[in-house]
Structures are given as structure tokens and as C-alpha cells.
Amino acid sequence: MGSGKAVKRATISQVAKTAGVSQTTVSRYLNGKYSKMSDKTKAKIAQTIKELNYVPTASARQLRQSNSYVVGLLVGDVSNTFSCLLAKGIDDVLKPAGYDIVMMNTNNMLDVEQRSLQRLFELRADGIIVQPDSINYDSFAECRRRDVPLVLVDREVKDQPDDIGKVTSANQDACYQLGRVFKQRGYQNILAVSAHFAQASGQIPRIAGLKMAAEDFGLLYYDLETQGHSSEWLHRELLKAIRGLRGRTAVISLMGPVLFSILDIFHSAGIRFPEDVGLVSFDDWDWSKYVQGGIFLLKQDVELMGRLAAKKLLHQIQGKTTQSDLTVLPVEFIDKPSL
């Protein structure tokens, strides 16, 4: 049996004493006022806060005396149409509420992601929406320690607390159901083409769903990971895989931009769909309907994802809380003649 004694929460004075700085310095750190603070001091305070598991109290929150009316948005690849649609949905909600968005491109790099978060803390952003690169929640835990509302979008993160905001799509279930469609239409093989640019790639649950479907429905699963390889490599390996698999093969692009490369290879090799292979893709943003009658799509409503994420963030900001919840959006099947 336990002793029955309550565990005392760390205080700001304990943080200051352990870090060897004044309480005023810790308060300035918590409020993002770094103008006269050395990098060494910031690092020491951050480490101490983490070690003591310090969470600001209501009185510490009151130190944030005014809103900046700035919200940060971190995306993995600003050149991807996904990022633009996500930002559009977020802006549709936050602009009427008087907030400006600072959008930062992390380039799917962990160190850039961390620098971008620190910069938003310095800007005293009222809240932050992140398409995460890191697969570990600890990379974003400082938001709560600083009492900054946070919503994660699109990608899955390990060990994320249930009360941290999140909006994602039902990627794994959609790909499992797609495997059922393959089976019903007489395909024997699933050939997935992926490109993992981030640790927390949205393609991870998609692959998991396809693998589960292959096992349950008696299909062969084969994956080509393009990251780190040239277009010539993909051309060679994709054709080799298609020609080496027995039975009917369905090729699936696990992210929109990969579809361009697949179509180019098919065109140069004279491969027809669905006559020679089936073809499916995630998120083509409507242009593929002009390709041979259209391509079978698994489509996410990215603008809706952005709007919901912004609403969760706005609710936290207005309610002076960092608690939120999870929303999982369905993935729509757009049935076209390519399968």
C-alpha cells in the first residue's frame, strides 16, 4: 500500500534554485522573453523544467498578460499541395477570429522542426499547429510546459497524451478496406510505392493497413521505398517488380507527388491501366480525372482537417487551456476506371 502522501508539484522557485538562476529569469523564459538571456541559460532552464516535470500554475499563466494574435503552423513540405490546402482551412477559421498565421517549412527535418518551435516561442505565438516530423511526442512537450496550446495534424506521433489536440485521417483502416477491394476485383498482388521523408510519415499507417489486408485476404504485398533513390532507380525497380509478380497487380502511390513519377514510367514503358496493372493513389488534388478516364483515389479532406485543427486551437486559446481531443476523418474512395 502507498504512504498516502500527495506528490508535490515542482514550483518555479525550485526550478530557479536547481538551474542556478533567479525566479525572474525563469519567468522570462516561460514567457519567451529571451532578448537578454544566453543560449546556455535557456538550455539549463529547459533541462531543469524537463527533469523536475514542472508545469506552470495558473499564476504562471497569468504572466502572459496579452495575446500576440499570432498562430504558428509547421508543415513538412511547403511545396506539397497538401500544405497549401491545410493552411487554407486553418486560415478560414483563424483570420475571422483576428489571428495571423506564421507558416514555417521544416523540410521534414527534426533539427529544423525544433528550431522552428523555438522561434515560435520567441514570437510568443498564442498557439501552434504542427504536421510533425518527429515520431516522438517529447519533441512537442515543451508547448504544454510553456502553456502554449498545441494541435498535431495528419501524421501519427507515439505516446501522445489523450488530451493533446489532434486531427488525422483514417489512413490505416482505409488501406485495409482498399485491400478488400483488390481482392474483390481479382488482384493477387499489392505493389506500394512510398516515399518516407519524415519519421512520423502518414505513409506508415497506410503501409500497416495494406500489410494487414494482404495477410487477411491472401494477397502478396510488395513495397518500393523511393526515398534516397534516383528516378532511374525507381523506373528500373518498378518495372522489374511488375514483370516479376505473377497474377494481377495493383500499384498504389502512397502520396500524391509519387503518382507523377509512376505515370511517367508507365507512359515510357507502354504500361496500360487497368489492362496491364491496376493503379490507385492518395490525394491527387483532382487533376488525375483527366488521365485515361480518371485514377482510383483515396482522398483526404485536407481543408476540413485544417479547419478542425484551427477550431481546436482557438477553443484552447479562448478557454486558456492546453487540453483538447482527437478527431479522425474518413478517407473517401473515388472509384475510377484505373482499377
- Model confidence pLDDT, tens digit, residues 67-84: 889 999 999 999 888 899
3-state class (DSSP) for residue 190: strand
> What average pLDDT is seen over the chain?
89
- Model confidence pLDDT, tens digit, residues 159-172: 999 999 999 999 99
Residue 130, CA distances (Å) to 50, 103, 110, 250, 329 in order:
21, 10, 12, 33, 17
- Model confidence pLDDT, tens digit, residues 225-276: 988 889 899 999 999 999 999 999 999 999 877 888 999 999 999 999 999 9
* Grid cell digits, residue 255: 502520396
Question: What is the spatial distance between Cα 90 and Cα 187, in angstroms, rounded to a whole number?
Answer: 40
Residue 155 has pLDDT above 50, yes or no: yes
Please, which residues bridge with residue 154 across strands? 168
* Grid cell digits, residue 146: 510553456
Average pLDDT over residues 288-293: 73
Q: What is the DSSP string of 127-147?
A: EEEE--S-SBGGGGTHHHHTT
- Amino acid 146 reads R
Residue 30 has pLDDT above 90, yes or no: no
Question: What is the spatial distance between Cα 103 and Cα 42, in angstroms, rounded to a whole number?
Answer: 24
Residue 65 has pLDDT above 90, yes or no: no
Q: What is the pLDDT of residue 5?
A: 45
Phi/psi region, residue 32 (left: phi>0; alpha: psi -120 to 50; beta: rest), is left
More confident: 80 or 306? 306
Please report which helix (H) or strand (E) contains residue 326, including its range.
strand 326-329
Of the pLDDT bands very low, low, confident and very high (cuts 50, 70, 90), residue 62 is: very low
The percent of residues above 90 in pLDDT, for the chain, comes to 66
